Amino acid sequence: MSTCLKNPLPLRQIMRRWLVVCLFVAAAGLAGQSVAAERTILVFGDSLSAAHGMPQAQGWVALMEKRLAARDADIRVVNASVSGETTGGGRKRFDAALARSQADIVILELGGNDGLQVLDVKQMRTNLAAMIKRARDAGAKVLLLGMRIPPNYGAAYANRFHDVFEHLAEQYDTAYDPFFLEPIASDRSNFQSDGIHPTAAVQPMLAKRVLADLQPLLERQGS
């Protein structure tokens, strides 16, 4: 005995429901792609990156974030820099900052305070290496920003200090800027009264410099 369906749905209504399902699936897929596409840059440094002596919005990190946002809305910048930070202090808090940010790229700008305090260069290297390895183990790319110290600290110490950054960049094959203050370093008027921290007026130059260093990493990740 044959069985007949009672009150079958009209074809138009069936098609309408099918279309709604398709649109929902497509929207869910696009949302997933948007989340996956977002990338995070963690800036982990000292007062040079913490906008010392000026509003945060005038510092090079905030200016870099603004420029990145203007061309790519799927990149966010987390600034975990602390004034006065040494590599030893940074190493202690690095894991937590990395975990919170879930960074895809880490800009590591530490070592200047180690040099100014004439701390042990071998320990500085160990600290920086530990942070680089942590970042790489978490799947993040690293941009290492090198620093220079004045020659009055002694040529032997200054040379060992400078070599740390270059050797680490070679050992771990990281992106590397030997001296990111180079565009402003030769003119003392570019620095605040302490002679150490750049003025607000030159922060755009630093943002431009670091963006140029960063670009190859962004391109490798599909920017």
Look up 120 and say whether it is catalytic: no
Establish if 15 belongs to a structural domain.
Answer: no
Decide if pLDDT at 205 tops 70: yes
Of the listed 47, 49, 81, 101, which one is catalytic? 47
Average pLDDT over residues 53-66: 98
Check residue 120 and give left, alpha or beta (phi > 0: left; psi -120 to 50: alpha): beta
Question: Which of 20-34, 64-78, 99-113, 176-190 is least confident?
Answer: 20-34
Of the listed 137, 173, 187, 194, which one is catalytic? 194
pLDDT band at 32 (very low <50, low <70, confident <90, very high): very low
Establish if 34 belongs to a structural domain.
Answer: no
Establish if 70 belongs to a structural domain.
Answer: yes
Establish if 3 belongs to a structural domain.
Answer: no
Instruction: Report the SS3 class of residue 191.
Output: strand
Establish if 219 belongs to a structural domain.
Answer: no
Establish if 124 belongs to a structural domain.
Answer: yes
- Claim: this prediction has a pTM higher than 0.85: no
Establish if 22 belongs to a structural domain.
Answer: no
Which residues form the domain of 82?
A: 39-213
Of the listed 74, 197, 213, 223, which one is catalytic? 197
Look up 194 and say whether it is catalytic: yes
pLDDT at 72: 72
Query: CA 95, CA 56: separation in Å to the nearest integer?
Result: 24
Q: What percentage of the chain carries pLDDT values higher than 70?
A: 82
| End-to-end Cα distance, the chain | 65
pLDDT at 15: 58
Please give the tally of structural domains in the chain: 1
Q: Residue 116 belongs to a domain with what CATH number?
A: 3.40.50.1110
pLDDT at 60: 99
CA 73 to chain CA centroid, Å, is 15
Decide if pLDDT at 144 tops 90: yes
Look up 114 and say whether it is catalytic: no
Establish if 118 belongs to a structural domain.
Answer: yes
